[in-house]
Structure 1
Amino acid sequence: MPGVFAEVRDTGRTWRGASGVADVTTGRPVTPDMRQRVGSITKTFTAVAVMQQVEQGRIRLDAPIGDHLPRLVPGERGRKITVRMLLNHTSGIPDYLPYAFPSLQGFPSLPDMSTDSIDDNRFRQFRPAELIEMGLAAPPTGEPGGPTGVYSNTNYLLLGQLLEQVTGTTAEKYITRNVIERAGLRHTGFPTGPRIEGPHSRMYEAFYGLIDPPRDYSVYNMSWVGPSAALVSTMEDLNRFYAKLLDGKIVSRSSLAEMQRTLPVRRDLDGTMIEYGLGLHKVDIQGCGTFWGHDGSAWGAGTISLTRADGKRQMSVAVNLARWNKPDSSGKPQPHPIDGALETLYRQAMCGGASAQAEHAPQVPVFAP
């Protein structure tokens, strides 16, 4: 792991730390205040924006998405899939990523894959509609509104289009004005080009050993994820955002309660099940408490941000290497010492003095886009 940096808050006290390098060539160190591509943590911001529109009466959670976006989701599918199903991944719409990055199809059968698509798309400008069409054209992952969901970026691109339709501006502009600025975040925003503005680390992608040595993908056009996973932020800003969200300062308490209604959602990348609400991931740690937040990834970057339900304990951690686990003969990524080190860090950060009694550390996240 080239570099890791974090901020932990505990009842008014704050710890910031960093270790390692931001550039393996020059040896430039990482620092706790660096900006990071935070991947799917963006989904919480987008979900908050949708809930604000729900509060204003412009969106109904259980309205069919076809009422708002009949051209994008026509026919029976548009009538069956609701806004809520997009938010909690029970729409049955699969992820478009394997089709936008065709050389990555077939995971976890790594011998049959290449990472050519990652390089091919470095500066490609995707349109949301073309990515959504890829997801809608793929075989459904289930019936809309089922008891379990399947994690899909297509859902959140559709929510971005919904926000644009009801607000008259892009999702990125609406989220900037009404979520990021409302929360008082100073170093968070959607990128306007392939480069990150401000101090940041290089971001190294290994893709389960297919890229060896790992390559730097810190310069990248993030139109492939948009309002699903394109945000840049700092660990300080993420802790501030989730603290205000859970304190009812960005959406109402009733909206927050809706966001915290969870069900099991499967991540196809590794088959794990997570407890997912409306843009929020629930993590229960025995002997330590219930935490809310999200994790995320971009090529070369992984981030996780979790806040205890009472708001008194927070952790945001960033790493500048992604998908370090090499597969076994069946193609399944295997545990790595980095996983154990992260588990130890998470346990200490989230449980503090109770870490010795906490029997289960939070599961090391997939850092999924």
Structure 2
Amino acid sequence: MMNAARLFDPRLGILGACLVLACGPAPDSTPDSAIGGEPSLSPEATAALVEAFQAELDAAWAQAQETDENFPGATAAFILPDGRVFGFATGLSDVDDEIPMTPDMRMGSGSIGKTYVAAVALQLAMTGELDLDAPVSTWLGDEEWFPRVPNHADLTVRNLLNHSAGMIQPYFEDPGFAVRLGEVFRDPDAYMTPEEFIAETVLDAEPLFPAGQGYHYSDVHYTLAGLAIEEATGRAYYDLLDEFFLDPLGLDLTLAADRRDLPGLAQGYAHASARLYGTPLEVVVDGRFILHPLQEWTGGGLVNNPQAMVRWGKLLYEGDAISGDDLPQLLEVGFPADSTKPHLGYGLAVSVAESEHGLTYGHGGFWPGYNSLLAYYPDHGMAISIQINSDESRMRDHMPNLAGVVLEALENAGS
């Protein structure tokens, strides 16, 4: 079962055109500040692109059904250099009830949420409220447990944000933690507080390397960063996120995952998490998560939609989301992934990588029942995002073909 694209002209703030789906208010209209200028494509070329993108998305879904890939359905979106956003869907939101996926549905976006945490930290750095190179002990040193954190005496906030702090990623690297988390998840309303999560995973552990002298991805780093942000400001992280970005940028399809009853959720299928943590396969019952999303907090901590994420990616990676000259810090790679290409690697919650279509900035995300991916192509001023309602899909296999459809249209328009 496949759905045609729903698209809108963000300058109008209403649906500009609809294919199959009924017209209605656009939940995530793009503010004028996000518009890049004259349309990148003519109306005819735009219509052809929309049709081709939908066909490619539908083909990916159809192929997955033939190969037994866990791909119930997907939402996807792209944003053009001129700021226009186009949202799409394919497949099923709920397999048992045969409910079609629709373009505006939300899913857990996992670690893509780290991009917002780093942006909050950078915004605070721009206003002098947070020094990224100051010791984390400046804000957390009075906590009784802090001296038991690996590398505690030498940690900076920047070490946490670029994953050079030297701690393990417990969700996938600690079998004992997986068992404990599975026990927590048996109560839908239970979750570990940030302090409990830190205590369960890294206290008294040997660091993987001295602070600032290596790279290892870990959610614990971002939990500590979240605590430092809240201590530095005296405010809740989610309040800062709303004030700095979600409200002023009109990212209405992005919500803090701070409760189980979040609107517009697609059913998620936790194929991988069922094996890791013993969770049920279906993660939404009666419109509510069966796992409390606050377990993730600043390790991710959002439900999202590709239409909002491509707008976020374009604004963030073009330097328009944060007030101040933030891009040099955001994109500075701590440890290059390739010594011959020192610009490739991980910055402040951004993976800087080469794809078959050129340089990309972005991030992926995993949360029980969902996989998400966001990529911005700086050489083309275009971003693309996809979410699949299974945490075991081969989502990265589909992104190059989808991106290729958009980039080919842009190249043809410029030739």
Question: TM-score with structure 2 length normalisation?
Answer: 0.70
Q: Deviations over 1:289-328 (max 9, x none)?
A: 211121111101011111112562110100001125xxxx
Question: 1:213 offset after TM fit, Å?
Answer: 12
- Residues 305, 317 of structure 1: 8 Å contact kept: yes
State the SS of the aligned residue for 1:204.
coil
Asked if 1:352 corresponds to 2:408, the answer is yes
Name the CA distance, whole Å, in 2 between partners of 1:340 and 1:49: 27
Shift of 1:254: 2.8
Q: Which residue of 1 aligns with 2:74?
A: 4
Q: Which residue of 1 aligns with 2:206?
A: 139
Worse overlay, 249-258 or 63-72: 249-258
Asked whether the equivalents of residues 116 and 241 of structure 2 are also in contact (C-alpha less than 8 Å), the reply is: yes
Does the CA-based 8 Å contact 2:358-2:379 persist in structure 1?
no
Equivalent residue in structure 2 for 1:246, among 317, 322, 326: 317
- Matched residue, 2:63: none
Cα separation, partners in 2 of 1:167 and 1:119, compared to 1, 3 Å: closer
Query: Mapping of 1:68-83 within 5 angstroms?
Result: 68-70=139-141, 71=143, 72-74=145-147, 77-83=151-157
User: Partner residue of 2:55?
Assistant: none
Does 2:112 correspond to 1:35? no
Distance 1:340 1:62 in 2: 34
For residues 32-58 of structure 1, the C-alpha deviation after alignment (integer angstroms, 9 at most, x for no partner) is 111111111110100011111111112
Q: In the alignment, what sits opposite 1:51?
A: 122
Going from structure 1 to structure 2, the CA distance change for 1:83 and 1:354 (only over 3 Å counts) comes to same
Q: 2:168 maps to which residue?
A: 94
Unaligned runs of 5+ in 1: 106-113, 267-273, 325-337, 356-369
Q: Which of 258, 268, 274 is the aligned partner of 1:203?
A: 268
2:326 counterpart of 1:255: yes
User: Structure 1 residues 350, 297: CA separation in 2 closer, same or farther (over 3 Å shift)?
Assistant: farther
> What residue is the counterpart of 1:294 in the other structure?
363
Report the secondary structure of 2:361's partner residue. Answer: strand
Cα distance in structure 2, aligned partners of 1:339 and 1:189: 23
Q: CA RMSD in A?
A: 3.0
- Tell me the alpha carbon deviations over residues 114-146 of structure 1, each in whole angstroms, 9 at most, x when there is no partner: 995474264313211111223332332221111
Say whether residues 1:318 and 2:387 are aligned partners.
Answer: yes
How has the CA–CA distance of structure 1 residues 52 and 122 changed in structure 2, closer, same or farther, with 3 Å as cutoff?
same
Alignment of 1:112-151 (within 5 A): 116-117=182-183, 119-120=185-186, 122-137=188-203, 138-146=205-213, 148-151=214-217
Consecutive unaligned residues of structure 2, counting only runs of 5 or more, are 1-70, 338-343
Q: What's the CA shift for 1:276?
A: 0.8
Match of 2:132 in 1: 61
Partner secondary structure for residue 315 of structure 1: strand
Counterpart-to-counterpart distance in 1, 2:396 and 2:96: 26
* Structure of greater Rg: 2
Identity %: 23
- 1:180 is aligned, of 229, 246, 250, to 246
Query: Cα 1:104–1:246, aligned 2, differ >3 Å: closer, same or farther?
Result: same
Give the structure 2 partner of residue 237 of structure 1. 308
| 1:168/1:210 CA distance change after superposition, 3 Å | closer
> What is the rounded CA distance, in whole Å, between the counterparts of 1:231 and 1:209 in structure 2?
21
**Which of residues 281, 286, 300 in structure 1 aligns to 2:351?**
281
**CA contact under 8 A between 2:171 and 2:177: conserved in structure 1?**
no
Note if 1:164 corresponds to 2:223: no
Secondary structure class of the residue paired with 1:262: coil
Aligned length, in residue pairs = 324
Q: For 1:18-38, what per-residue CA distance to the aligned partner results, in whole angstroms no more than 9, with x for missing partners? A: 111000111000011111111
**Which structure 1 residue ranges, 4+ long, deviate > 6 Å from structure 2?**
211-214
**Using the alignment, how far apart are the partners of 1:210 and 1:130 within structure 2?**
23
